[in-house]
């Protein structure tokens, strides 16, 4: 099992005939079950043609009617990307993954407001994100497939590059991933850390999670507080926050990664996340090692005999159950 996407997902590429869309659709189609998953593209001016062996339709709605797509990936240029998101939402797709960077904030505010007013059930990931991958099943986006391996660790990140770094470390440690989700760093976006963390907590095939955040906003704090409050049987989560040395008001690449009014600093985020029971590191090169150590500690705790547990002695003369430690009756 995985979250959000799997080998049964059917994908339409909006912007398939552009240079970026064509390249990454080709790469994604060649990965794992991609040939079965990528079934449609959209370009109103080239409807009836094909690209990389994938039929092109005039609209997302038509693509859905003809092929049964349930997920869209968007490589449309920034001025038109918000309209492309709304087109996919109107077609009532389950999931829309917007890779496009540089969408005007006002455009995203408007499309998010329209989604809210329409009561849309479509899940939006991005914009300005690397996409989502379920290793050895399907990848939707721009991440390098070869660094991933199938396993039971979830990854959620605002940063594309740090997503790859975390995944690479996990794979080197033979810790495969269930799903890796890049949610993007724009100030107005779809999926948040908390929502993805909840999906991982409810996924029976995910055993632990790496959560990667950045300065700016309060998404990481909200996710950590939800984790502390709602997760009864907690799966281990470790975290990293980028931008520890950033001065106030400094932008860090992403439009959403800006400290404002003293809020959203790395130190503030680290304090809240640690207080909520999530172990963190300030060194991005140690994310994988930290998770492995947390898993090892959890495993050791699980198999350690409780205080006062009965032991069987190997000596036949002592072959009877005896308490290792005698405890007072009132304990």
- Which residue numbers are catalytic? 254
Q: Residue 330 corresponds to which tokens in the numbers above?
A: 């009132």
Q: How many CB atoms lie within 10 A of CB 226?
A: 18
Contact 69, 100 (CB under 8 A): no
The upper half-sphere exposure of residue 52, i.e. CA atoms within 13 Å in the direction of its Cβ, equals 25
How far is it, in rounded angstroms, from Cα 193 to Cα 232?
A: 18
Instruction: State the DSSP H helix or E strand holding residue 114, giving kind and residue range, or none if neither.
Output: helix 105-118
How far is it, in rounded angstroms, from Cα 81 to Cα 127?
A: 9
How far is it, in rounded angstroms, from Cα 19 to Cα 24?
A: 9
- Beta strands 71-74 and 54-57 are unpaired
Q: How many CB atoms lie within 10 A of CB 69?
A: 25
User: Nearest 10 degrees: CA dihedral of 8, 23, 48, 75?
Assistant: 80
How far is it, in rounded angstroms, from Cα 90 to Cα 56?
A: 19
Contact 197, 211 (CB under 8 A): yes
Q: Buried b vs exposed e over 33-50: b needs ≥16 C-beta within 10 Å?
A: bbeebbbbbbbeeeeeee
DSSP state of 145: G
For the chain, the residue count is: 331
Phi-psi region for residue 289, left (φ > 0), alpha (ψ -120 to 50) or beta?
alpha
How far is it, in rounded angstroms, from Cα 43 to Cα 60?
A: 9
């Amino acid at each position: 099992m995985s979250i959000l996407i799997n080998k049964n997902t059917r994908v339409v590429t909006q912007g398939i005939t552009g240079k970026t869309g064509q390249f990454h659709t080709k790469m994604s189609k060649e990965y794992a079950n991609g040939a079965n998953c990528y079934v449609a593209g959209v370009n109103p001016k080239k409807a009836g043609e094909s690209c990389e062996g994938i039929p092109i339709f005039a609209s997302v709605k038509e693509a859905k009617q003809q092929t049964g797509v349930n997920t869209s990936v968007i490589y449309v240029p920034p001025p038109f990307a918000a309209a492309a998101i709304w087109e996919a939402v109107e077609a009532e797709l389950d999931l829309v993954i917007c890779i496009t960077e540089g969408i005007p904030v006002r455009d995203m505010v408007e499309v998010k407001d329209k989604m809210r007013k329409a009561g849309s059930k479509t899940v939006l990931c991005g914009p300005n994100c690397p996409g989502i991958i379920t290793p050895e099943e399907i990848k939707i986006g721009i991440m390098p497939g070869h660094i991933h391996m199938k396993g039971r660790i979830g990854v959620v990140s605002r940063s594309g590059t740090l997503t790859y770094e975390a995944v690479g470390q996990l794979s080197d440690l033979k810790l495969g991933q269930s799903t890796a989700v890049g949610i993007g760093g724009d100030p107005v976006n779809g999926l948040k850390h908390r929502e993805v963390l909840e999906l991982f907590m409810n996924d029976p095939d995910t055993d632990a999670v790496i959560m990667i955040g950045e300065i700016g906003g309060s998404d990481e704090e909200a996710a950590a507080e939800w984790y502390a409050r709602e997760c009864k049987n907690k799966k281990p989560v470790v975290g990293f926050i980028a931008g520890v040395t950033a001065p106030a008001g400094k932008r860090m690449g992403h439009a959403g990664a800006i400290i404002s009014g003293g809020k959203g600093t790395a130190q503030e985020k680290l304090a809240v996340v640690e207080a909520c029971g999530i172990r963190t590191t300030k060194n991005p090169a140690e994310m994988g090692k930290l998770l492995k150590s947390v898993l090892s500690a959890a495993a050791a705790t699980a198999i350690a005999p409780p205080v006062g547990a009965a032991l069987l002695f190997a000596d036949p003369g002592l072959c009877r159950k005896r308490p290792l430690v005698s405890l007072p009756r009132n304990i």
